[in-house]
Structure 1
Amino acid sequence: MKKPLLEFTNKGIYCAAADVYLDPWKPVDKALISHGHADHSRWGHKKYITHRINVPIVKHRLGAIEIDGREWGESFRINGVEFSFHPAGHIVGSSQIRVAHKGEVWVFSGDYKTENDGIATPYEAVQCHTFITECTFGLPAFKWKPQNEVMREINNWWAENQRAGITSVLFAYSLGKAQRLLSMLDTGIGTIYTHGAIEKMTSVIRDLHPLPPTVQILPETDRKAIRGNLVLAPPSAHGSPWIRKLVPFQTASASGWMTFRGARRRRAIDKGFVLSDHCDWSGLLESIQATGAEKVICTHGYSDIFARYLREEGYDARTEDTQYEGELAELNPKEGKEEDS
C-alpha cells in the first residue's frame, strides 16, 4: 500500500519524504508553522519555518528560536518535496501549507476563514488532491453575519454603556481577535484601554499593520478615567481581581460560540457578539469545493459530523485526531492562558 504524503502521528502531521512536521504538538527537529496561536506554534522545535509576517509573532511568543520566513507562494524544497505558504485569512500571518511530491498535492488549512477582515491577508483557495481542513464550526447552525454588521452592534453597545456611565469590557484572544476588533472599533466614542497581554501582542502587530492608539491599564491607572470607555481583555481576565477594579462594567465576548446562548450563560457574559476567525458552515463547504480536492481529512471541531456530510456529498472524507483547539479556549478562560503570554 502506498504511503501517504502526509500522515498523522503522535507528534503531529508528518511528511516522511521530507522528514518535516506541520504544526507539530511535540518537539521535533524541523517544523512548518501555519500561524502564531499556541496550539499550532509550540515551543521546543529545533527549527521553525513559517510565513515572513508570522516570524515576529512567533518570536514574541516563544523567545530565542531558529526560524526562517518565506513569502506567499514562494516554493522551497526539502529532500525533494515542494512546500509553499498561502494566505489562510485566519489572523495576521496565518497560512495554509501546500505540500507537493511526485505529482501529488496536499494542502493543510491550519485555521482559516474566507471573509476578508481587513487585517489578515485574505484567504486564497489552493488547488490540491487532498485537503486537510479544520472543522471548528462545522455545523449548519453556524452562519456568520457580515463583519461590518457585527462591528456596528459592538460600537452601539459601547456607546450605550458610555451614556450610562458604564465601562465596556470586551473579551478577545490577545493574538488575532483583539487586533481585528481594534482595527474596527469607533475611536470617536472614547478611549480604548487594554489588558497587558493584549497590549504586548498589539505592539508586535503594529509593526505589521496600522492600528488605532490604545492605553494599557497599569496598577497606577486612574480607574475613574476608564469609566465609560472600552477595555479589551483576554478571556482569562474574566472573574479575576484585575477586572473587579473596573466596576461598574458590562462584559461581552466576540466569538463564534456566541451563536449559542448557553455558551454566553456558562461564561457569565452580559452580551455576546458572533464574530469568528474561523469559517462558518458555508465557508467550509465553499472552500473545500474551491480546492478541487477529492479527498478531505477533517480535524479539530465538529469533525465527525462534517466528514459524514461530506461523504454524503460524494467526497472521500475521514477524520483525524489532533491537539489543535480552534476557539475552544474562548469557552474556558483557563485554556486561554497560554495565548495571553
Structure 2
Amino acid sequence: MPKANTTPLISFTNRGLYCSAGDFYIDPWRPVDKAVITHAHSDHAKNGNKQYLCHHFTKPLLEARLGNNHYQSIGWNEVVRINGVSISLHPAGHMIGSSQIRVSHQDEVWVVSGDYKTENDGISGAFEPIRCNTFITESTFGLPIYNWLPQHDMYTQIQQWVQNNKAKKTTSILFAYSLGKAQRLLQALAMFNEPIYLHGAIWNMQMALAATGIAFPQVERITPETLREKLKGAIVIAPPGAEGTSWMKKMEPYSTAVCSGWMQVRGNARRRNTDMGFALSDHADWKGLLAAITSTGAEKVFVTHGFQSALSRYLNEQGIWSAEVKTAYGNGEEENENANSATDAINTTITTQQ
C-alpha cells in the first residue's frame, strides 16, 4: 500500500516559507527562483529573486526599492496556478498593497498573513478573514497591553497636537515609517488643507505610490533649498532615522512626535526623548490578532515574529493548536523600531480573554 504524503503544504526552511508542491517561496529572505510577496516592506521583500508575484499596488513599490526584475502582479481574489497549486491574494490591511497569501492544493488550504491589522484604515484595504486549515500569523504586538484606540480617536489626538503647535508657530515633526504609517498620517492631516513637508526618504516612496492612483494631500519635499520660513509652523513627516539629526535644525522651533505602536507602553516617549508619542500602529493589537485567528477557523496556527511565545502559549490554552516559528521578519520596520522598549510589556500576564 503506498505511503501517504505527510509533507506539509508549506514548510519553514532556511530560505523562507516554501511550498514544495508549487516550488515557490513566500517572502523569502534569501534569493530563490519564484517568490510570492505579501507586501513591500524590506523585511518581507528582498532583492535577488528571479521572479516575483505580488499585488498590483505592490509592484511599483518593489520597482522603486528593488529595481528592475521580473514582476507579475495580480488583484485581490484573483487565482494563479503554479504546478497545480492555487494561489490568491487577499487584503491584509497592513499597508497599501499588503496581502495575505492563500495557498490551496488537494483540499488543503494554508493562509500566510504576512503583517496585518484588522481595523480598516481607509487606504490599505480592509482585512479579509480567510477560512483555512492552517494559518500563519505575525505577533508583533501579541500581548494584552497592546490595545489600540480607534483610528478616528487617534487621528483626533494627532490633529489637536498639530493645531496646538500651529498656535505657537512651532513646526510639527512626526516620525513614522516611510511606507504605510506616513501615508496614514497624510490621510489624518489632510484636514489642514496645506502642503505637508516630507523627508526625502518618505518623498521617494510617496512618488512610487502615486503610480497606484490613490489620492493624497499635497506634499513637498524638504531640500537644502527649502526656506526656513516655509517650515515655520508647518507639518513635517520624517522617518525614525532622521530623529535627532542635524537635518532637523532648519525646522526650529519644533515639537516632535513618534508614531508607533510601541508608544502604548508608558515611558517610551520619554525614553525616546520626544515631546509626544502616538500609539498608531499598522499591526493588529492583541484583540485584533485573536479575532483574526479565530475567524479563519484554522485547526493549526503557526506564530511568527513578535511575542510569538506568549501568543502561541495563549492559543494552546484556548484549545487552538499552535507552535512558534522563528523567521527573518521584523528586521526593517516597526517590529524592530524600538525592540528594547518592550521590556515592561513582556512582564504582562497573559490573562485577557477573547
Q: Same fold (TM over 0.5)?
A: yes
Q: Which amino acid aligns with 1:88?
A: A
Q: In the alignment, residue 217 of structure 1 is paired with which amino acid? A: I
TM-score, L = length of structure 2? 0.91
Unaligned runs of 5+ in 1: 333-341
SS in 2 for 1:160: helix
Q: Identify the match of residue 311 of structure 1 among 299, 302, 316.
A: 316
Note the alpha carbon deviations across 1:17-38, whole angstroms, 9 max, x for none.
Answer: 1111000001111100000000
2:139 paired with 1:135: yes
Question: Partner of 2:344 in structure 1?
Answer: none
Kindly provide the CA deviation profile for residues 145-204 of structure 1, in whole angstroms up to 9, marking residues without a partner as x: 110111111111011111112111001111111011101214437541110111111122
Partners of 1:52 and 1:216 lie apart in 2 by 26
- Asked if structure 2 preserves the Cα contact closer than 8 Å seen for 1:174 and 1:198, the reply is yes
Q: Which residue of 2 aligns with 1:234?
A: 239
Q: Does the 8 Å contact 1:155/1:186 carry over to 2?
A: no
1:96 paired with 2:88, answer: no
- Match of residue 117 from structure 2: 113
Which stretch of structure 1 is more off in the superposition, 203-212 or 156-165?
Answer: 203-212
Contact 1:90 1:277 (C-alpha < 8 Å) held by counterparts? yes
The match for 2:303 is 298
- Indicate the percent of aligned positions where both proteins have the same amino acid: 50
**TM-score (structure 1 length as normaliser):** 0.95
Deviation at 1:262?
3.2
For residue 328 of structure 1, the aligned residue among 330, 335, 341 is: 335
SS in 2 for 1:258: helix
Correspondence 1:87-236 to 2 at 5 A: 87-188=91-192, 190-208=194-212, 209-236=214-241
* Residue number in structure 1 paired with 2:33: 29
User: Using the alignment, how far apart are the partners of 1:328 and 1:108 within structure 2?
Assistant: 18
The corresponding residue for 2:351 is none
One-letter amino acid of the structure 1 residue matched with residue 234 of structure 2: N
In 1, Cα distance between the equivalents of 2:192 and 2:290?
A: 38
Partner of 1:231, secondary structure, is strand
Equivalent residue in structure 1 for 2:9, among 5, 18, 40 = 5
Deviation at 1:244, TM superposition (A): 2.5
Are the aligned partners of 2:60 and 2:211 in contact in 1 as well (CA < 8 Å)? no
* Partner SS state of residue 305, structure 2: strand
SS in 1 for 2:58: helix
Following superposition, the deviation at residue 50 of structure 1 comes to: 0.6
Tell me if structure 2 keeps the 8 A contact 1:18–1:80: yes
Counterpart of 1:36, as a letter, is A
State the AA in 2 paired with 1:327: E
Cα 1:154–1:189 shift into 2, 3 Å: farther
Note the aligned Cα RMSD (angstroms). Answer: 1.5
Q: Distance in 2 between matches of 1:44 and 1:267?
A: 35
Q: Which SS does the other structure have where 2:18 is aligned?
A: strand
Count of residue correspondences: 333
Are 1:267 and 1:331, in contact at CA under 8 Å, matched by a contact in 2?
no
| Runs of at least 5 residues in structure 2 that lack an aligned partner in the other structure | 340-354
Q: CA deviation at 1:261?
A: 2.7
- SS of residue paired to 2:179: coil
Alignment match, 2:352: none
Q: Please give the secondary structure, in 2, of the residue aligned with 1:244.
A: helix
Partner Cα separation in structure 1 for residue 231 and residue 77 of structure 2: 45
Q: Deviations over 1:132-154 (max 9, x none)?
A: 00000100011111101111111
Q: Which amino acid aligns with 2:197?
A: Y
Match status 1:256 vs 2:261: yes
